[in-house]
Homo-oligomer: A and B are copies of this chain.
Amino acid sequence: MAGRAGPAARGRRLRERLHVVVLAGGAGERFWPRSRRARPKPFLEVVDGKTLLEATLVRARALTDASRIWIVCGAEHAGALRRHTGLPASRLLVEPRRRNTAMATGLAAARIASVDPEAVLVTLAADHRVPSASAFAKACLRAARAADRAGVLVTLGIRPTRPETGYGYIRVGPAAGPAFPGLHRVGRFVEKPEARTARRFLKQGGFLWNAGIFASKAKTLLEEIAGLAPELDAALARLRPRGARAFSAAALRAAYAAAPSLPIDVAVLERSRKVWTLPVSFRWSDVGTWASLAEELGVDARHNAVVAGEAILEQSSGNLVWGAGRPLVLFGVEGLAVVDAGDAVLVAQLARSADLRSVVAALALRGHRELL
């Protein structure tokens, strides 16, 4: 157990060195018209009146003290995030431009290591949904302990429940060893598969969904970046020129100007030989599309879901409805997202909601900047 005296014990208990990094980037175009540039997906109130971000912070607080929770976000959302979370400015890491998750994660690791060199990080996204906070906490702590003791990166692998083509997969490798029961080396990372491949993964077993949740010592992550991602490493080096203590705004801008735009998976995890995975079985969704939200809310061939507002559903099934002050009336329709945002109404086939970006592009072309 973390904190007990043992071969991997440090001077301080793990719990006191555990930091949670919440990545809150992303534009959220796939939830238009409910998500907008100024109000991206983490701010969606999808269930129980909580936003995805609020639910994420509840999970983070189950892992560690509120003083060790960090959020990485874009400048355009920093104000809203502070109001929404009450987080002090010092733990809001504001990116001067969007540079994907490798730089966001690297920034967090560098910043946290500067205040706590023995820090162990759990990195996760602000806009996923995990109904069971306790199962999540248990798995994250187990991953963090292994990462701490073995000096590895431990990514959570969700056991798939359907042949999902919207997620990347992790091929489970050999067991990590008797000291780490249940943990495995990563065989390889697999890009989002075709439907047939996804069905084979499910049938064959040994493949897990890559949820993008991983634990590592800050030090381990920075070492792996140094060894595997020299461009990213060089960008991070600019954060503290000539050993400066603070992270100045100018240094941050310089670092981001030099940063590559890569996901952390591509920049580090897929290349590293120190990546393990912890297979877990809790329910998880990246809530990536209206369709996956619908699924999360229990929409199926017989059931509709009404997120908010008043809906009158006649001879209709399999729809997700989100109203805004006036009744939405569905009659004889199936498999739709019907979303009223007050200033615009979307009627979309759920099955095609992964391509909703083309709608947002069409709005931009028509000059509807107020709706973006």
Q: In the complex, which residue of chain B has the Cβ closest to the Cβ of A325?
A: B343
Residues in B with CB closer than 8 Å to A331 are 346-349, 352-353, 355-356, 358-359
Binds B, one of A101-109, A178-186, A361-369: A361-369
Interchain CA distance A329-B348 in the complex, whole Å: 8
Interchain CA distance A340-B351 in the complex, whole Å: 24
Interchain CA distance A342-B348 in the complex, whole Å: 20
Determine if A250 is an interface residue (Cβ-Cβ < 8 Å).
Answer: no
Determine if A328 is an interface residue (Cβ-Cβ < 8 Å).
Answer: yes
User: By the criterion CB–CB under 8 Å, are A347 and B359 in contact?
Assistant: no
Determine if A314 is an interface residue (Cβ-Cβ < 8 Å).
Answer: yes
Determine if A315 is an interface residue (Cβ-Cβ < 8 Å).
Answer: yes
Residues in B with CB closer than 8 Å to A355 are 315, 331-332
User: By the criterion CB–CB under 8 Å, are A362 and B326 in contact?
Assistant: no
Residues in B with CB closer than 8 Å to A340 are 345
With contacts A312-B359, A362-B312, A363-B312 known, is A345 near B332, CB below 8 A?
no
User: By the criterion CB–CB under 8 Å, are A363 and B33 in contact?
Assistant: no
Determine if A244 is an interface residue (Cβ-Cβ < 8 Å).
Answer: no
Q: Mark A232-272, 1 if CB is under 8 A from B, else 0.
A: 00000000000000000000000000000000000000000
User: By the criterion CB–CB under 8 Å, are A329 and B349 in contact?
Assistant: no
CB proximity of A351 to chain B, nearest CB, Å: 8
User: By the criterion CB–CB under 8 Å, are B343 and A347 in contact?
Assistant: no
Chain A stretch 260-314: residues in CB contact (< 8 A) with chain B: 312, 314
Say whether chain A's binding surface is mostly helix, strand, loop, or mixed: mixed
Interchain CA distance A347-B351 in the complex, whole Å: 17
Interchain CA distance A362-B326 in the complex, whole Å: 15
User: By the criterion CB–CB under 8 Å, are A345 and B326 in contact?
Assistant: yes
Determine if A9 is an interface residue (Cβ-Cβ < 8 Å).
Answer: no
Interchain CA distance A349-B317 in the complex, whole Å: 12
Determine if A371 is an interface residue (Cβ-Cβ < 8 Å).
Answer: yes
Interface centre among A312, A353, A355, A358 (most CB of B within 10 A): A312
Determine if A336 is an interface residue (Cβ-Cβ < 8 Å).
Answer: yes
Interchain CA distance A329-B330 in the complex, whole Å: 16
Determine if A333 is an interface residue (Cβ-Cβ < 8 Å).
Answer: yes
User: By the criterion CB–CB under 8 Å, are B333 and A349 in contact?
Assistant: yes
Interchain CA distance A312-B353 in the complex, whole Å: 16
With contacts A312-B362, A359-B312, A362-B312 known, is A347 near B326, CB below 8 A?
no
27 contacts between A and B (CB under 8 A): A314-B362, A315-B352, A315-B355, A315-B358, A326-B343, A327-B345, A328-B344, A328-B345, A329-B345, A329-B348, A329-B359, A330-B347, A330-B348, A331-B346, A331-B349, A331-B352, A331-B358, A332-B349, A332-B351, A332-B353, A332-B355, A333-B347, A336-B347, A338-B345, A338-B347, A345-B345, A347-B347
Interface contacts beyond A331-B347, A333-B347, A338-B347: sample of 15 additional A-B pairs, CB < 8 Å, sorted by A? A312-B359, A312-B362, A312-B363, A312-B366, A315-B358, A327-B344, A327-B363, A329-B359, A330-B347, A331-B346, A332-B348, A332-B351, A332-B352, A333-B348, A338-B345
